Amino acid sequence: MAKTIVVKQIGSPIRRPEKQRQTLVGLGLNKMHKTRELEDTLSIRGMVNKIPHLVKIIEERG
């Protein structure tokens, strides 16, 4: 079983640069307090690290 992380959106993309909005969409997040379970890869971690003010890692599984 692959390692996964649970990511929660904690900030609004309103009045944020377009790149940050696109990163949220790439993670599958688009509404406040929505959570997604994603595979724990370097690309996903990089996306999360680009917008730490908008998302939060809640749990690491695996």
Q: Give me the CATH number covering residue 28.
A: 3.30.1390.20
Say what the pLDDT of residue 34 is: 98
pLDDT (tens digit per residue) in 3-49: 999 999 999 999 999 999 999 999 999 999 999 999 999 999 999 99
Which domain, by its residues, includes 51?
A: 4-61
Q: In whole angstroms, what is the distance from residue 30 CA to residue 20 CA? A: 11
How many structural domains is the chain composed of?
Answer: 1
CB 51 within 8 A of CB 24: yes
The pLDDT tens digits for 22-34 are 999 999 999 999 9
* Sheet of strand 55-61, all strands in order from the earlier edge strand to the far edge: 35-39, 4-9, 55-61
Q: Quick one: pLDDT at residue 1?
A: 66
